[in-house]
Amino acid sequence: DQQVKQNSPSLSVQEGRISILNCDYTNSMFDYFLWYKKYPAEGPTFLISISSIKDKNEDGRFTVFLNKSAKHLSLHIVPSQPGDSAVYFCAALETYKYIFGTGTRLKVLA
């Protein structure tokens, strides 16, 4: 049973617009979340994190929002750039491991 879900396998956005990637989780005990970006033939790279004591964390063009009551988090990328085209994974921390979603492939169109 998938505890972390990314229901959109793919997303296309025009360059300069906002990209919104969504992630839902089922376990209310999760209290730390990460987003990773992955290019083909490379390992995932860390983007941004958020702890459950916050509802928003910002780092440059990337902002993560956490809605604990809805068990939902989202990653906003503003403005989107062609170099942002990649697969994005959200992950939730459980004891000694992260549980990853299945990923969303973002394509930013020039």
Partner 1 sequence: KAGVTQTPRYLIKTRGQQVTLSCSPISGHRSVSWYQQTPGQGLQFLFEYFSETQRNKGNFPGRFSGRQFSNSRSEMNVSTLELGDSALYLCASSLDSGYTFGSGTRLTVV
**Binding-site ranges for partner 1 (CB under 8 A):** 6, 32, 34, 36, 41-46, 49, 89, 91, 93, 95-103
CB of 16 to partner 1, least distance (A): 29
The strands making up 72-77's β-sheet, listed across from edge to edge, are: 4-5, 19-25, 72-77, 62-67, 56-59
- Whether the ω angle into residue 40 lies within 30 degrees of 0, i.e. cis, is no
CB of 79 to partner 1, least distance (A): 26
CB of 68 to partner 1, least distance (A): 18
Which of these, 63, 69, 3, lies nearest to 35 by C-alpha position?
63
- Give the Å distances, CA to CA, from 98 to 10, 15, 16, 108: 22, 31, 32, 27
CB of 9 to partner 1, least distance (A): 8
